[in-house]
């Protein structure tokens, strides 16, 4: 087992009475694209600043490449950061911005020039070397910031909300560009973001944070399909949550639906008795004008229908006024549903997650 | 809103500007007067400017004033930078409110009182009044203005620029030299020019704190006017107005540059 690139061991950090990071442990591998995802104020930015060395942990230890980072100032860490505001030096040209880190390393002028030229090519900004940052567009600034952070060849690149300041079209393009650069250079990237789509599209592994703690770490698919807590289920994507009771029976514990949908199926192993929530993604819901063949089923009236291009979303109002969301790809064949239709909605227990509430 | 500009608006504007600038315009005009009589126009001439160059007393005062202004401007800029840095960067240290109040109070205190206080102080500590006491007096007032100007710049300074520099391997000292200082430079230059200008036209503080052989230009002008106005005074005053105007323009553009500079 080789040493991971980054090893964070039960690190905590508080500001005043706010516990920004609470007993967090995680590892990042060499060459990995890692994402820290969470709502604002969840401590993800603090965790990144702890890695960069701008903050010191109250307790716990951080190792980068096997070396304890305690007492190592930011300017001696093999880590570079791309700031959310880009933080380009306004009084320096693009080339001098990119070469700043190389100058600090004491490289000879000629080598700095060569490497700056290489980096300008990498981010497709050849010929922009003599411009000033205020003469660049948002997307160009973002690429200069990336090149500047990559220049000293860090072992780990930290990216703070790298796409937040870009408009929608540019964001997707830049997202793929970042992935290419990361793959070509083999440098580990850690992206901090509040945007789940961004994290899921780019990262090999995602750590979802809430209130200073890590809720779940895994790849995009497992975080989306197998949420381990209610928070993860609700934070990532859309989801229907049904109230349920877990009760003991002769054949082991069972999940019994309370509310608009009737269901009863065997509980997954290890669930304690008591209240629970059954989480089902809208695209896993089955909807029909006739009775469905699902083990869980209820009846309602379509209250709203939204056509979103790639998918359609229906909101079905159940007998007790609760809303169930159902979605379906518009390319799929099937019955036509409209507002006011009386329909049956249901799900297959295999596509549901039972979560303690 | 497209309001019509009526005749009464223009009249008010003209009256306002006249109130402010007619005396100065007259002074400049009469500096080019060929007549010895200050109030009678005798045709255009630059003769008084020529005579000015022969007046050694006046010229030595100009020289003293320039040296005082340069030195007190420089001290003001340095001290102002330190004070502004403490106010913006040292956090909420004990006595911060008192510190800033004490810093800014010489700005609003009557100059006569500041001058008198300084005079009593210099006498009390036995410091002989002369060139350096004027420099000290001008620095006390100049650094307040310098602090205000630099404080404004530093307060809007994006700290992530410094973090970025350190992240890229620059030590705190290198970061200050290569990032903080160059970005704050326009404000520091503006602060210097402001303090320079204040020193150049100060009369009250200088007359309290100057000694023999350190008579500044405003003091010289005042004493000469008491003996009767010579058109030479008009000439030297015109030159002073020109110098101050140039300084203020440079200061304005130095501050103005910051508006476009911050990292967006």
> What confidence score (pLDDT) does residue B256 get?
62
Give A305-340 pLDDT, tens digit per residue. Answer: 999 989 999 999 998 888 999 999 988 878 888 888
The span from the CA of A342 to the CA of A321, in Å, is 14
> What confidence score (pLDDT) does residue A248 get?
84
Closest in A91, A148, A151 to B182, CB measured: A91
CB-based contact B263 A88, cutoff 8 Å: yes
Q: Inform me whether the C-beta atom of residue A79 falls under 8 Å from chain B C-beta atoms.
A: yes
The span from the CA of B108 to the CA of A113, in Å, is 53
Give A66-106 pLDDT, tens digit per residue. Answer: 889 988 999 999 999 999 999 999 999 999 999 999 999 99
> What confidence score (pLDDT) does residue B262 get?
40
pLDDT in tens, chain B (264 residues): 456 778 888 898 899 888 888 888 888 888 888 887 777 788 888 888 888 888 888 888 889 999 999 999 999 999 999 999 888 887 777 778 888 888 888 888 888 999 999 999 999 998 888 899 999 999 999 999 999 999 988 888 888 999 999 999 999 999 999 999 898 888 898 899 889 989 988 999 999 998 888 889 889 888 888 877 778 888 888 888 888 888 888 877 776 654 444 433
DSSP, res B257: G
**Interface probe, candidates B158, B167, B188, chain A, greatest A C-beta count within 10 A:** B167
Strands of A18-28's sheet, edge to edge? A18-28, A6-15, A59-64, A67-68
> What confidence score (pLDDT) does residue B261 get?
42
The span from the CA of A124 to the CA of A145, in Å, is 13
Reference B45, options B234, B211, B177; nearest CA is B234
DSSP, res A76: G
Q: Inform me whether the C-beta atom of residue A73 falls under 8 Å from chain B C-beta atoms.
A: yes
- Which residues sit opposite A326 in a β-bridge? A314
Closest in B161, B167, B174 to A80, CB measured: B167
Percent of chain A at pLDDT exceeding 90: 59
CB pairs under 8 A between A and B: 71
**Residues 6 or more apart in contact with residue A5 via CB below 8 angstroms:** A28, A29, A30, A32, A64, A65, A155, A156, A188
**What SS3 state is found at B102?**
helix
CB-based contact A85 B160, cutoff 8 Å: yes
CB-based contact B174 A85, cutoff 8 Å: no
**What SS3 state is found at A211?**
coil
Beta carbons of A14 and A20 less than 8 angstroms apart? yes
What's the gap between Cα A274 and its chain centre? 31
Instruction: Report angle CA A252, A256, A258 to the nearest 5 degrees.
Output: 160
Name the residue with higher pLDDT: A249 or A113. Answer: A113
The span from the CA of A25 to the CA of A213, in Å, is 9
A247 has pLDDT over 90: no
| H-run or E-run covering A234 | helix A230-235
CB-based contact B262 A90, cutoff 8 Å: yes
A108 has pLDDT over 60: yes
- Which residues sit opposite B261 in a β-bridge? none
| CB < 8 Å to B160, chain A | 83, 85, 87
CB-based contact A86 B179, cutoff 8 Å: no
**Residues 6 or more apart in contact with residue B145 via CB below 8 angstroms:** B76, B80, B107, B191, B194, B195, B198
What are chain A's domains? 6-230 (3.40.50.300), 238-356 (2.40.50.140)
Closest in A54, A104, A134 to B168, CB measured: A104
**Interface probe, candidates A87, A136, A139, chain B, greatest B C-beta count within 10 A:** A87
Reference B164, options A50, A88, A53; nearest CA is A88
Mean pLDDT of the region A218-231: 92
Domain B56-260: CATH class, spelled out: mainly alpha
Pairing of strands A156-160, A188-193: parallel
**Residues 6 or more apart in contact with residue A148 via CB below 8 angstroms:** A82, A88, A97, A98, A100, A101, B164, B168
Mean pLDDT of the region A1-15: 88
A147 has pLDDT over 90: yes
CB-based contact B168 A101, cutoff 8 Å: yes
The span from the CA of A352 to the CA of B41, in Å, is 101
The span from the CA of B139 to the CA of B194, in Å, is 11
**Interface probe, candidates B157, B158, B169, chain A, greatest A C-beta count within 10 A:** B169
- Which residues sit opposite A12 in a β-bridge? A59
> What confidence score (pLDDT) does residue B255 get?
66
Instruction: Report angle CA B175, B177, B179 to the nearest 5 degrees.
Output: 55
Tokens standing for B100?
A: 């800033």
Q: Phi and psi of A137, rounded to 5°? A: -80, 170
Among positive and negative, which fits the CA dihedral A59, A63, A67, A71? negative
DSSP, res A169: H
Mean pLDDT of the region A235-248: 90
Q: Inform me whether the C-beta atom of residue A87 falls under 8 Å from chain B C-beta atoms.
A: yes
Q: Phi and psi of B67, rounded to 5°? A: -65, -40
CB-based contact B163 A100, cutoff 8 Å: no
> What confidence score (pLDDT) does residue B43 get?
83
Beta carbons of A314 and A327 less than 8 angstroms apart? yes
Torsion of CA B20, B25, B31, B36, to 10 degrees: -90
The span from the CA of A281 to the CA of A318, in Å, is 17
Reference A150, options A121, A172, A127; nearest CA is A121
Beta carbons of A79 and A51 less than 8 angstroms apart? yes
Closest in A52, A89, A134 to B179, CB measured: A89
What's the gap between Cα B47 and its chain centre? 30
Q: Phi and psi of A321, rounded to 5°? A: 90, -10
| Mean pLDDT of chain A, nearest integer | 90
Q: Inform me whether the C-beta atom of residue A148 falls under 8 Å from chain B C-beta atoms.
A: yes
Q: Which ipTM was obtained for this model?
A: 0.81
The span from the CA of A244 to the CA of A205, in Å, is 31
């Amino acid at each position: 087992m080789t040493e991971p690139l980054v090893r964070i061991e039960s690190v905590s950090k508080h500001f005043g009475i706010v516990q920004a990071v609470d007993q967090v442990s995680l590892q990042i591998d060499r060459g990995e694209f890692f994402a820290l995802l969470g709502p604002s104020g969840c401590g993800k930015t603090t965790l990144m600043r702890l890695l960069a060395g701008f903050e010191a942990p109250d307790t716990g230890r951080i190792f980068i490449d096997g070396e304890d980072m305690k007492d190592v100032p930011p300017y001696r860490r093999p880590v570079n950061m791309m700031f959310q505001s880009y933080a380009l030096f306004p009084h320096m040209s693009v080339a001098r911005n990119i070469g700043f880190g190389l100058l600090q390393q004491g490289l000879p002028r000629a080598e700095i020039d060569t490497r700056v030229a290489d980096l300008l090519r990498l981010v497709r900004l050849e010929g922009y070397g003599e411009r000033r940052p205020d003469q660049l567009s948002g997307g160009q600034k973002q690429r200069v910031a990336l090149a500047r952070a990559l220049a000293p060849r860090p072992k780990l690149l930290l990216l703070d909300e790298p796409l937040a300041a870009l408009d929608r079209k540019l964001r997707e393009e830049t997202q793929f560009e970042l992935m290419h650069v990361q793959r070509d250079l083999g440098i580990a990237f850690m992206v901090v973001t509040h945007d789940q789509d961004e994290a899921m599209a780019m990262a090999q592994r995602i750590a979802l944070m809430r209130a200073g703690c890590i809720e779940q770490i895994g790849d995009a698919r497992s975080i989306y399909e197998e949420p381990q807590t209610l928070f993860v289920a609700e934070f990532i994507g859309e989801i229907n949550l049904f109230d349920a009771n877990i009760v003991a029976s002769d054949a082991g514990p069972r999940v019994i639906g309370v509310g608009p949908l009737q269901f009863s199926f065997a509980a997954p192993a290890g669930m304690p008795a008591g209240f629970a929530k059954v989480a089902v993604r809208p695209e896993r819901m089955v909807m029909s004008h006739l009775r469905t063949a699902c083990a869980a089923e209820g009846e309602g009236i379509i209250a709203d229908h939204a056509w979103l291009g790639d998918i359609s979303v229906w909101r079905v109002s159940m007998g007790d006024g609760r809303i169930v969301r159902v979605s379906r790809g518009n390319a799929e064949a099937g019955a036509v549903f409209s507002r006011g239709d009386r329909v049956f909605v249901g799900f297959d227990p295999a596509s549901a997650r039972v979560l303690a509430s | 809103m497209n309001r019509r500009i009526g005749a009464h608006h223009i009249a008010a504007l003209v009256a306002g500007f006249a109130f402010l600038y007619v005396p100065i315009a007259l002074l400049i005009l009469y500096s080019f007067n060929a007549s010895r009589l200050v109030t009678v126009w005798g045709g255009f001439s630059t003769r008084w400017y020529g005579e000015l160059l022969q007046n050694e007393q006046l010229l030595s005062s100009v020289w003293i004033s320039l040296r005082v202004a340069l030195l007190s401007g420089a001290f003001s800029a340095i001290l102002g930078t330190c004070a502004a840095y403490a106010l913006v960067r040292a956090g909420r240290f004990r006595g911060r409110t008192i510190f800033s109040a004490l810093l800014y109070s010489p700005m609003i205190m009557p100059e006569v009182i500041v001058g008198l206080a300084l005079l009593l102080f210099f006498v009390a500590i036995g410091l002989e009044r002369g060139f350096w006491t004027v420099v000290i007096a001008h620095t006390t007032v100049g650094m307040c203005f310098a602090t205000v100007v630099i404080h404004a710049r530093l307060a809007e300074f994006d700290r992530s620029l410094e973090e970025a520099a350190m992240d890229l391997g620059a030590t705190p000292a290198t970061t200050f030299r290569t990032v903080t200082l160059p970005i704050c430079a326009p404000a520091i230059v503006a602060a210097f020019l402001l303090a320079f200008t204040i020193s150049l036209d100060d009369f009250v503080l200088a007359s309290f704190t100057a000694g023999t052989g350190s008579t500044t230009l405003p003091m010289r002008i005042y004493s000469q006017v008491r003996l009767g106005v010579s058109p030479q005074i008009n000439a030297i005053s015109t030159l002073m107005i020109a110098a101050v105007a140039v300084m203020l323009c440079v200061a304005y553009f130095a501050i103005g540059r910051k508006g476009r500079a911050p990292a967006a």
